[in-house]
Amino acid sequence: MPTTTLVPPNWRYAWNNSAAPLVVRAHALTAAAARPSVTVSRPTGGPDGGSPTLAYGGLAHGLTHVLPFLEQRRGAGAQHSRRRTTWAELADGRAATGADLLAVGLLRRAAPRTAPRHCLLLPFRISLSVPVGPDPQEVVQRLSRKARQQHARELRSRDRTLEVATSEADFHSFYDGMHRPTMRNRHRDAARSEERRSALVCLFRRGVLFFLRESGRRVAGMLCRLEGATLVVRLAGVEAGGEEPYRSGTYMAMYVLILQWAAEHGLTRVDLSGCEPFLSKGIFQFKRKMHPEVTLPDNHFRDKRLMLRVLRDTPEVRDLLTANPVLAYDTTGGALEAVYFHDADRPARTDLRWQCPGVSGQRAVDLDEFLDGLPRSTPRTPAAQPARP
């Protein structure tokens, strides 16, 4: 019988995460050589189900990073259909004529410098990181006032301490008892994670496993990788994947204590990992409380872009755009700015804040002007209230 050669976990991790120029270039060559496809996501219940029809095409990573998020924000089940297409059809929207909104993942060199009409040009992903100095107390000062007060109050009342764990038994306890249940409970089918062997070899053995203890009990954990003077947060979880730690500030306390640990051990930066460029991402709003710097990722995602193209002007599309402001390139194509949509019936969701280093400012876009000239459907009355993150 022929044998199957498995890709070593360190090679697989490097392919997915490395910023080495050879790896980044190999990703670009692979993407350029692949024939693109387009996936159309129709809401369950048919075309009159009260939700927009979405489509994603282009770079394959968008099927795990972009489309599931848009479907989650749409708030309806999905029926998928997929077909091969061409980059030319994706570029002008012909690839998904039955959809209301088309997202296209493409290489930076193939993206226009500024977005065409009815389009926004976004980074494919963003990275969030916090610089740390030698004074651990400076970390706390980065927090919002409310988060700072809650951290100080609960650090004492809950007797919170940080533990550095070193045994493989600790790793498996974290992976099975915290990380996997948390991913399953919070993200369901959209959960993404590092495979166990890769996490053991590439993270645990090359990084630090932290546990947060409350009155001596382990209630949360984070597995981080050390890369030079940077600590990279990679996997996280709470005891049994429960919800109470999110309400009590446990996660924030753990981040703060890890930032302070990094300062005490001479590190200069903590990479909080990244997310899709939508202000309605819960992870963005949570990590924004630590005032992180917003940059492009160092790995292959740096050279990827996301084009959002509206194909039809419908009340449901307007609801979705208004409820999900984005981080997009400005009209010069050089800086990131927060873009908020609005119209007479839908106020801009400025409660979803953007203020972080690396974001130049904000821009309000009138939907009547942005969507002018598109095919329209009969307005729905009343307009749906924007979904909360």
More confident site: 46 or 141: 141
pLDDT value, residue 146: 81
With a cut of 80, say whether residue 189 has pLDDT above it. no
With a cut of 60, say whether residue 77 has pLDDT above it. yes
CA neighbor of 227 nearest in space, from 333, 123, 311, 298: 298
Q: In the CATH scheme, what is the homologous superfamily, with its name and number, of domain 127-295?
A: Gcn5-related N-acetyltransferase (GNAT) (3.40.630.30)
d(CA 50, CA 314) in angstroms, rounded, equals 10
Amino acid at 55: A
Query: What is the reported pTM?
Result: 0.89
Torsion over CA: 212, 218, 219, 224 (sign): positive
pLDDT value, residue 240: 85
Amino acid at 315: P
d(CA 113, CA 329) in angstroms, rounded, equals 9
Mean pLDDT of 217-245: 92
Query: What's the pLDDT band for 139 if we cut at 50, 70, 90?
Result: confident
Query: What's the pLDDT band for 141 if we cut at 50, 70, 90?
Result: confident
Mean pLDDT of 307-318: 96
d(CA 266, CA 334) in angstroms, rounded, equals 33
Beta-sheet pairing, 230-238 with 269-275: parallel
Strands (E), 91-204: 101-107, 119-123, 126-131, 160-165
Query: What's the pLDDT band for 202 if we cut at 50, 70, 90?
Result: very high
pLDDT tens digit sequence for 119-130: 999 999 999 999
Question: Where along the chain do its domains lie?
Answer: 9-124+301-370, 127-295
Strands (E), the chain: 37-43, 54-58, 78-84, 101-107, 119-123, 126-131, 160-165, 207-214, 217-227, 230-238, 269-275, 293-295, 304-310, 326-329, 336-342, 362-366
With a cut of 50, say whether residue 186 has pLDDT above it. yes
Mean pLDDT of 67-87: 92
CA neighbor of 146 nearest in space, from 358, 353, 386, 357: 353
Length of the chain equals: 389
